[in-house]
A and B are shown apart, each in its own frame.
Chain A
Amino acid sequence: MSKPEYLLFDKNTKAIFWNLNTSAIQRMLDYDYVVGRSPSIAAIVAPTSERSFEKFFYGTKEIIIPIYKTTKDAAKFHPEADVLLNFASFRTAYPVTLEAFEIPQIRTIVITAEGIPERYARDMRIKAKQLGKWIIGPATVGGIAPGAFRIANTGGTIENIIASKLHRPGSVGLVTRSGGLFNELSNIIARNADGVAEGIAIGGDRFPGSDFLDHMLRFEKNPQVKFMILLGEVGGEAEYKVVEAVKNGLITKPVIGWCIGTISKFFGGEVQFGHAGAKAGADRETADAKNRAMKEVGIHVPNNFNELPHVIKGIYEMLRGEGVIQPIVEPEVPPIPEDLSKAIKEGKVRKSTNFICTISDDRGEEATYCGVSISEVIEKNLSIADVIGLLWFKQKFPDWASKFIDMVIRVVADHGPAVAGAHNVKVTARAGKDLMSSLVTGILAIGPRFGGAIDGAAKYFKMAYEKNMSPNEFVEYMKNVEKIPIPGIGHRIKSTKNPDKRVELLKDYARRNFPKVELLDYALEVEKVTTSKKENLILNVDGTIGVLLVDLFKQIGYSNEDIDKLIEAGAFNAFFVLGRSIGFIGHYLDEKRLDMPLYRHPTDDILYDVKRPEGI
C-alpha cells in the first residue's frame, strides 16, 4: 500500500464487496479488464449465501471470487483489501459500516443504500473522521478513478465509459451529489476537456460521509488533477466550505462550480426538487446564493447549466495553452467480450441448440402447456385428461376422448396390495425408504407381465385386424407363431356368465360416444372364439382399454403407423403408469400411517434348494 495519502484508489486497489450483487461486480471486472489491471474485487461478503465462491468473467476467462460470511473474515484472508463497497440495504448498511470501522486495514467505505436514517448517517460520518477513515455515500453511485478503479455501476455501460473517457485518467477532479449527473458531467468533460482524473458522487442525503471539500482537498494535492468541477445543489452548507477554502488559499487550482436548483426560488420552498438533502432551509442555502458566493471568491460559475460546457472548454484550453495540461496519448482498448445471452438477444451471433421442446414453454409471463397458459387451463376448466392431451399428444382432445382417458386413469388407479407393483411399494416403504424410492419400485415392476397387457392387446389386436386375420386365424397365430397367450384376454374370476362390470362400462361408453369402435368389435369377435373354449377367456379390462385406445386415436386422426409409433414409444403403457402411480402413492402413505416394521419374508414360504457346485 504505497499510494500517496491523497489517493483513495489506484491501479492496485483491492476491494471487498458486501452483498452478492453479481451484475455490479461483473461491471467492475469488465472495467478492470478494459483498463488492463488485475481484478479489483478480492472478496465478497454475503452472510446468507450458502456458497463459498462465485464465478465471474475477467475478459473471456472465468475467475473465482471467494464469499465470506463476515467482513472481518474477508479482511483477514485478503489483507491487501483497503476498500469496502458496502452494498447492504438501508436496514443493514449501518451495522456493516460499524463492523468495518473495527477493521484497521479498511480505509475507504462506499455506502450505496438510500434511506439510511439521518442520525445513523451522521454518526457514521463523525466516527469515520475520528478514525481517519473515508466514507463515500450514502445514497450514491460511488465514483471512479479512471484507469485505476471503478466503484460498481459508476459510469454506466462499458461503451459509455469509453465514450466518456473514463477508462484513462484526464485532468479534471469532479465532485457531484447526484449519480445520474455524475455520468452526464463525465460526458461533458470528455467532450470539452480531456476527461476525469478522479470523480466522486458524494450522494444525495443530508449527511454525506464525506463532502465536496474533503475530496477537493485531495484533488488539490493530486498532481494529475489540473482543475476541478463542483456540481452542487440547493440546500445545505457544503458548497460554502469550498468557498471558504478557495478564499483561504487551501484550494489554488482552478475550480468550476455550479449549483443546481435555481428553480426553487420560484416556489418558496413548498416544492421538494430533487434529493432529500436538496431543500433550502435559509436564503443562504438557495442555489442562487451559493452560485453568487462561489463567483465572488473566483470560482468559475456559468450563468446556467447550458453554459457549463463552454466554461469547461475555456478553462481546459487556457491550461493547455499554458502547458499545464499535456496532450494525452489514447491507450488501446481491448474489446470487451459480449455476453452470449446478450449477443443472442441482439441477433449478433447464432448457436445451434442442444435440446428441442415442442410441448411447453416457460419463457414468457406465464408457463404454457402447448401454447395454452396455465391460467387459461384453470379458467377454461380443462381436466387432467385435457392436460394429458396437450402435453403428451399436443392437441386438445375432443370431449368424448377426454372423458374416456379420464375413465381409464380412474379404472387403472389401483388393484389392491397384492399385485406385484403395490407389493414392492409396501415392502420398500416398510424398509424405511422415502416416497420416491418406494414409488419407483412399484413402477419398475410394470412390464410385460404386470400392467403390460394394455400395450400388448393394442399391438396384437391391431396387427391382426390390419392383416385381415379372421378371429380364428388370429387365435391360431398367437398360439403357433407368437407362442404366448393373447394379451388382454382372460380373467382369474370373471367370465361370460359373470362379466366384469368395468369392462361393460367402458364398452358401453365407447359405443355411445366414439364415432367408431372397429377394433373393439373385432376384439369381441375374437372373444367369442376364446370363450367358446373356456368361459373365463373374456376380453379383460386391459384388453378393452388397449383396443379402445387404438380406436380413439384412429378417430382423432392418427394413421395406423402413427399409432404403432405411439405404442412403441410406450404411450399406451403411460396411461397405466400414470393411473397406477395414484394407487402406489396411496399404498406408500398407508404404510407410513401404519408405521409397519421392516418386512422379512418367512422362511417357511421359501423352498430352499441350494446345492454346492462341485470342485470348490
Chain B
Amino acid sequence: MAQRGIREFDGKRIIAQNWKDYFGDAFNYEFKSVLITTETDFDKLPEQYPWLKDTPLVAKPDMLFGKRGKLGLVLYKIEKPGDVKYEDAVKWIKQKMQEEVEINGVKGHLTHFLIEPFVPHKPEEEYYVSFSMGDDYDTVYMSAFGGIDVEENWDKVVEVRIPPTASDEEIEKPIKANVPNEIKDKEKYGDFVVRAYKMFRDLHFVYFEVNPLVMVDNNVYLLDFVGKVDDTAAFVVGKKWGELEFPAGFGRDLTPEEKYIKELDEKSGSSLKLTILNPEGRIWTLVAGGGASVVYADTIADMGYVNELANYGEYSGNPTRTETREYVKTVLDLMTRSKHPSGKPKILLIGGAIANFTDVAKTFDGIIDAFKEYADKMKQVGVKIYVRRGGPNYEVGLKRIKQAAEELGLPIEVYGPELHMTDIVRKALEEEKAA
C-alpha cells in the first residue's frame, strides 16, 4: 500500500500538532474536534471537552467519503443554523449509527463521527485550497469560491504547479502571484497557502484539501478537511503524524479472515494479501506473486466466471512454511464452510509464475500442511485442485503436492512451467463447461 486516506479528525490533529513549525504565530488555529466511535461514552465526554456543553455544534460522519453536505449527513441546524446543542448532536449520531445507509452504491453502517464547534460565517467567506502530488510536480489549487459547490465553480479555481525540486522562493513566488483576485486579503491568503503547502510536502501528504477555509483576522477555521498520506513515509514522519489509523473505505470493513491475514502480513517480511470478493463463489485462488495473481483474476473474469470468483489474494517474497500454512488454512476454511447450492464441486487454483527466489517446495509444504488439516472438509464440499508453478525447487514441490493430495483423496492436476501460466484456469473452466 502507499497512498492512504485518513480521517478528517486525524488530518486536523496532525495539522494542529505541527502548527507552530509551519505557521508560527502568523496564524491561529484552535483544534476543537472530537472523534465519536461506537465505543464513545456520551455522558463522560463533556467532562473532557467542556466546550461541548456551551458551544453550538456541527456533527458529521468521518469515514473517508466526501460530499457529506449533499448527502444530508452534516448536522448544523435544528431550526436555524447554529442551534445544535450537545444533546441534539448525540441524538442525531445515535440515530444515524443505527440506520443502514448507502454511499456511492455501497451499503453499510456509520461508525465514526466528528463533532466540532459551529463557526458562523457568510458564504462569500468560504475559500478553497488544496494540494495534490502528481507524476512530475505538485499542484496547488486556490479559489475564493469554496464550499459544497466548488466543483460546479471549478473554472474559478487557479492552479499552480510546483516542481519537486523547488526552492522556498520558487514556491512562494508563483503561489503569491496567482492568488485569485476575488479573495479579500490576498496577501494573508497567499501567506497561508505557502505555509500550508510546505506542511503538505514535509509531512508526506499526497492530498490535502481545506474546503471551506474561513479566515477571520489571523484566525483560521478549517471547516472541512480531506487528506491522504503516503504510508511508506511512516519511518520519516511517523512521529509527526502521531498515532494514525488507516481506515478501510466505507462499507469495506475487513472480514475477520481478511483482518487475520492483514495482521499476518504486517508481522512478516513477506507479502500476504487476501480480499474476499464473494464468499459464495465456487472458484478460489491461491496465487503467488502480485502480478500473477492479477493475471489469474483477469483470466477467470475473461472466461465469464467473475461472479464465481470468491477471492483475490497473493502470497510472495518467500514466506515461511508456517506463514503459508496459516494463509492457506484461512482460504480453505472459508471455502469449505458450505457446499455450493448447485451441488457442483468447488475449484481451487494454486497458481503462480516462475518464482525468482521463493522456495516453491517450502511454500508447497505449507500448503500440504493445510490440506492435511482440511482434507475431510474439502472432500465434504467437493474440491478439485489445479496447480501450476515454477521456480526454485519446483520439481520437488510439485511432486510432493501431487503425492499428498492423492494420499488424502483430493482430486488434483499438477503442472510446471511447461504449461502456460493461466492454462490451468482454461483447463478447470473447460472441464466445468463440459460437465
Q: Are A184 and B292 in contact (CB under 8 A)?
A: yes
Q: Which chain A positions have C-beta within 8 A of B133?
A: 118-119, 122
> How many interface residues does B have (CB within 8 Å)?
57
- Which residues of chain A from 334 to 390 have any CB-CB distance to chain B below 8 Å in the complex? none
Q: Which chain B positions have C-beta within 8 A of A276?
A: 1-2
> CA of A466 to CA of B21 in the docked complex: distance in angstroms?
92
Q: Which chain A positions have C-beta within 8 A of B232?
A: 90, 115-118
Q: Are A119 and B165 in contact (CB under 8 A)?
A: no
**A61-69, A172-180, A222-230, A486-494 - the one binding chain B:** A172-180
Is the contact region of chain A dominated by helix, strand, or loop, or is it mixed?
loop
User: Could you mark each residue 211-241 of chain A with 1 if its beta carbon is under 8 Å from any beta carbon of chain B, else 0?
Assistant: 0000000000000000000000110010000
Indicate whether A502 reaches chain B with its CB closer than 8 angstroms.
Answer: no
**B23-31, B175-183, B353-361 - the one binding chain A:** B353-361
Q: Which chain A positions have C-beta within 8 A of B352?
A: 180
**B64-72, B283-291, B406-414 - the one binding chain A:** B283-291
**A248-256, A258-266, A401-409, A581-589 - the one binding chain B:** A258-266
Q: What is the minimal beta-carbon distance from B268 to any residue of chain A, in angstroms?
A: 13
With A118-B206, A156-B355 as known contacts, state yes or no: A233 contacts B291, CB within 8 Å: yes
> CA of A176 to CA of B22 in the docked complex: distance in angstroms?
42
Q: What is the minimal beta-carbon distance from A45 to any residue of chain B, in angstroms?
A: 21
> CA of A234 to CA of B294 in the docked complex: distance in angstroms?
10
What is the size category of the interface that chain A forms with chain B? Answer: 35 or more
Q: Are B1 and A272 in contact (CB under 8 A)?
A: yes
Q: What is the minimal beta-carbon distance from B269 to any residue of chain A, in angstroms?
A: 11
- Which residues of chain B from 93 to 129 have any CB-CB distance to chain A below 8 Å in the complex? 105-106
**A304-312, A550-558, A561-569 - the one binding chain B:** A304-312
Q: What is the minimal beta-carbon distance from A158 to any residue of chain B, in angstroms?
A: 10
> CA of A422 to CA of B298 in the docked complex: distance in angstroms?
80
Q: What is the minimal beta-carbon distance from B96 to any residue of chain A, in angstroms?
A: 23
With A127-B165, A153-B356 as known contacts, state yes or no: A273 contacts B297, CB within 8 Å: yes
Indicate whether A505 reaches chain B with its CB closer than 8 angstroms.
Answer: no
> CA of A90 to CA of B2 in the docked complex: distance in angstroms?
13
- Which residue of chain B has the shortest Cβ distance to A130 in the bound complex? B165
Indicate whether A157 reaches chain B with its CB closer than 8 angstroms.
Answer: yes
Q: Are A271 and B422 in contact (CB under 8 A)?
A: no
Q: Are B135 and A306 in contact (CB under 8 A)?
A: no
With A176-B291, A305-B422 as known contacts, state yes or no: A119 contacts B233, CB within 8 Å: yes
Q: Are B293 and A274 in contact (CB under 8 A)?
A: yes
Indicate whether A73 reaches chain B with its CB closer than 8 angstroms.
Answer: no
Indicate whether A270 reaches chain B with its CB closer than 8 angstroms.
Answer: yes
> CA of A598 to CA of B173 in the docked complex: distance in angstroms?
77
With A183-B356, A271-B275, A273-B297 as known contacts, state yes or no: A237 contacts B289, CB within 8 Å: no
Indicate whether B312 reaches chain A with its CB closer than 8 angstroms.
Answer: yes
Indicate whether A123 reaches chain B with its CB closer than 8 angstroms.
Answer: yes
> CA of A400 to CA of B425 in the docked complex: distance in angstroms?
68
Indicate whether A32 reaches chain B with its CB closer than 8 angstroms.
Answer: no
- Cβ-neighbour of B420 out of A90, A179, A287, A309 (below 8 A): A309
> CA of A227 to CA of B93 in the docked complex: distance in angstroms?
62
Q: Are A180 and B236 in contact (CB under 8 A)?
A: no
List 10 interface pairs A-B (beta carbons < 8 Å), by A numbering: A160-B354, A164-B354, A176-B291, A178-B291, A179-B356, A180-B355, A260-B295, A263-B301, A273-B297, A276-B2
By a beta-carbon cutoff of 8 Å, the part of chain B in contact with chain A is 1-3, 105-106, 133, 135-136, 163-165, 201, 204, 206, 230, 232-233, 235-236, 249, 252, 275, 277, 288-295, 297-302, 306, 312, 314, 316, 352-357, 390-392, 417, 420-423, 425-426
Other CB < 8 Å A-B pairs besides A181-B291, A234-B294, 7 of them?
A: A90-B235, A118-B232, A180-B352, A206-B3, A304-B298, A306-B422, A306-B423
